Amino acid sequence: MRLDRFYRTRTSPSLSFEFFPPKTEAGEVRFWEAYRALAALGPDFVSITYGAGGSTRERTERIVVEIAREGAITPVAHLTCIGASEESLAALLGRYAEAGVVNILALRGDLPADDPAALAGPFRHATDLIRFIRARDGFAIACATYPEGHPESPHGPEDDARYLKLKQDLGACVAITQYFFNNDDYFRFVELAASMGVTIPIVPGIMPIRDFDQIARFSAQCGASIPEWLAARFAPVRGDAEAMEQLGIEIAIRQCEALLAGGAPGLHFYTLNRAHMSRAIVQALGLHARDRA
């Protein structure tokens, strides 16, 4: 399944899950357990992130190719470009093409704090990577966007909407958002992007909260805001893992219901390689494969 054709013809909201490549053998066992549990729900695709280290990048490729060869679920391979050479990316894309992997999520990647020379390479922005992939036949390209604005964007969502339009013009067929907790931010961004000529689907990224303190720390780094109402809901249960998980499921269900009611073209779950919360949310929403067929 190619993402470009899928999103042109879909008749119901898409369902997808994101995983990261494990760093250890034990982590890989947990990864496949989570993958199998969520694959049973019949997602339209799963995406595998592309880590900063060489070993995790090799695992990304191996896992993506293995999922593709199984043939049950469509894999989307994340690909970051900062610090990469044209030769290395062309070789990887060639291997993906040989393995039948046709969907790429094109990303810049985090700026390396200890390698300023990376900025002198041929790829400084995700748009450079999209252009590079587009020049090679056979791939469908997804991209990322930030409804609240990328942490490096001086003008917040306005910058992201303009860059999203450029990504679309260069060949991206769908955008997946950074996670957020205020749906108004998403809907405002969709409207803003549309006013700038963006027509590709903008799929909201969903982060079920399992550990509030952990998510708060991570959100401070990636530019996702924590609404006061959310902090207040979690305040009485912080320190109680089971209660936080149940509350996280409840809040995510309500968020997803409102997103779908407002016309979101699908849901993309950041699983953190754990199945329980995403599975519970999807089942509560009735987004099983048989219900979306």
CA–CA separation, 104 vs 180, rounded Å?
23
State residue 186's pLDDT score.
Answer: 98
CA–CA separation, 293 vs 290, rounded Å?
5
Q: Are 288 and 42 in contact (CB under 8 A)?
A: yes
CA–CA separation, 43 vs 98, rounded Å?
24
Q: Are 187 and 218 in contact (CB under 8 A)?
A: no
H-type helices in the chain, by residue range?
3-9, 25-39, 54-70, 86-99, 126-134, 157-170, 183-195, 212-222, 228-234, 241-261, 276-285, 289-292
Q: Are 279 and 37 in contact (CB under 8 A)?
A: yes
pTM of the model: 0.94
State residue 55's pLDDT score.
Answer: 53
CA 4 to chain centre: 16
Q: Check if CATH label 1.10.1040.10 holds for domain 3-292.
A: no
Sign of CA dihedral 216, 221, 224, 227: positive
Q: Are 36 and 288 in contact (CB under 8 A)?
A: no
State residue 264's pLDDT score.
Answer: 98
CA–CA separation, 248 vs 234, rounded Å?
9
What is the chain's alpha carbon radius of gyration, rounded to the nearest angstrom?
18
State residue 293's pLDDT score.
Answer: 47
State residue 153's pLDDT score.
Answer: 80
State residue 83's pLDDT score.
Answer: 82
State residue 221's pLDDT score.
Answer: 83
pLDDT along the chain (293 residues), means of 10: 95 96 91 97 96 70 96 96 90 96 93 63 88 94 95 87 97 98 98 98 97 92 91 94 97 98 98 97 83 49
SS3 at position 153: coil
Catalytic option among 18, 61, 148, 245: 18
CA–CA separation, 84 vs 61, rounded Å?
16
Q: Which amino acid is at 31?
A: F
Cα 164–Cα 103–Cα 165 angle in degrees, nearest 5? 10
18 carries an active-site annotation: yes
